[in-house]
Amino acid sequence: MSNTSVSKRNANMELLRILSMIMVTFLHALGKSNLLGNLAEGFSANTWLAWILEALSLSAVNIFMLISGYFLINSEFRLSRLIEIVAQVLFYTVGSFIIYSAFFNVEAEEKTVYSFLNYLLPVHMEVYWFITAYVVIYMFLPILSKGIKAVTQKQFGTAIVLLLIYECIFKTLLPVRLAKDTKGYEFLWYLIMFMIGAYFRLYGFKHLKTSGKGLLLYFAGSFLIVLETAALQYVNVHFGRLKEITPVPTEYNHIFVLLAAIGMFAAFVNGKPMKQGLGKIVCALSPMALGVYLLQESITLRYRWQKWFHLPEAATEPVYIFLLKVFGAVLAMYIFGTAVDFVRIQLFSLVRRVLGKKKAD
């Protein structure tokens, strides 16, 4: 990889892509192992540590969306890219099912016609909600890109503020569960994040021009997530109130999660340029980051890989064992996912060469 290609891809942002995927893995390790206990029911060091790790990781999905807007706003729509994304998803849904069923007993409910539709039409069946939203965003890219660049900075900023009031501020402030609230698991929230990422690329944020300010905002947002979660859990445990909104601070379209994501994003955007040697390594690894998510969240592995590392039992073990298990599982799944996606990239490259040769013949 040449120095020019490293510069074009922006190694800082590629490192952020990798980091956000590791953070996503923390979310799946903690939440699907039932390690996030109630902070208001006695004191457990492991419970507090789990929630701190959770809060520090919750901004990951929003960060991924911001990166999409940051890069795609100056990109052209390519049908080949859309096909490649869908093919990559199918590689994991169909491939994981074939491999898993070859070595393990597949339960009857996973062999129904509806289940097979999940494997064969993963985008339409929203097997990965993030991918479904991304595909829709990408199909809208020609309109989004030209539309955003056709309006003034003030008009664009006003649109973002109004959308945030509608989708984020009301949800954050009101002590009720709104009927329209989908917790950020949808196209609209991805669109808003895309727009904020695009705004960063086109205009920057005048109040977040240094990495230090970005990191301060990230840690402040993460701290407030834990604080509000603990407060709501306390009220619910001791007064039997606010049960429905107890999880709200941990949802992607909550203001604290959003601020943490913007802070981390700004820290990397404004960070010092990476050295070429390290930048080459980062840019070589970053294309495989999405594969880590697709593997660990595949239908056959989604609720199983945590048990491989005995994570559910970690809740009652000594703190050092708890941390070793959680960090070890996350690191192992990242390495495993990266290795699998490396294989996929080689297979896809081989297919492209074969098809290109046949076309030339």
Q: How far apart are CA 175 and CA 245, in angstroms?
A: 7
- Residue 233 CA to residue 244 CA, distance in Å, equals 11
Dig out the tokens for 143 from the structure: 């309109």
Give the model confidence (pLDDT) of 64-120 as tens digits.
Answer: 999 999 999 999 999 999 999 999 999 999 998 898 888 877 776 667 888 889 999
CA distances from 128 to 69, 86, 121, 146 (A): 19, 11, 11, 28
Residue 71 CA to residue 151 CA, distance in Å, equals: 19
| Per-domain boundaries in the chain | 3-360
Measured CA to CA, the distance from residue 192 to residue 163 in angstroms comes to 7
Give, for all 361 residues of the chain, the pLDDT tens digit.
Answer: 334 444 445 899 999 999 999 999 999 999 999 999 999 988 899 999 999 999 999 999 999 999 999 999 999 999 999 999 999 999 999 998 898 888 877 776 667 888 889 999 999 999 999 999 999 999 999 999 999 999 999 999 999 999 999 999 999 999 999 999 999 999 999 999 999 999 999 999 888 999 999 999 999 999 999 999 999 999 999 998 888 999 999 999 999 999 999 999 999 999 998 888 999 999 999 999 999 999 999 999 999 999 999 999 999 999 999 999 999 999 999 999 999 999 999 999 999 888 876 666 6
Q: What is the DSSP letter of 206?
A: T
Burial of 119 (0-12, 13-18, 19+ CB in 10 A): buried
pTM: 0.94
HSE-up of residue 106 (Cα within 13 Å, Cβ side): 17
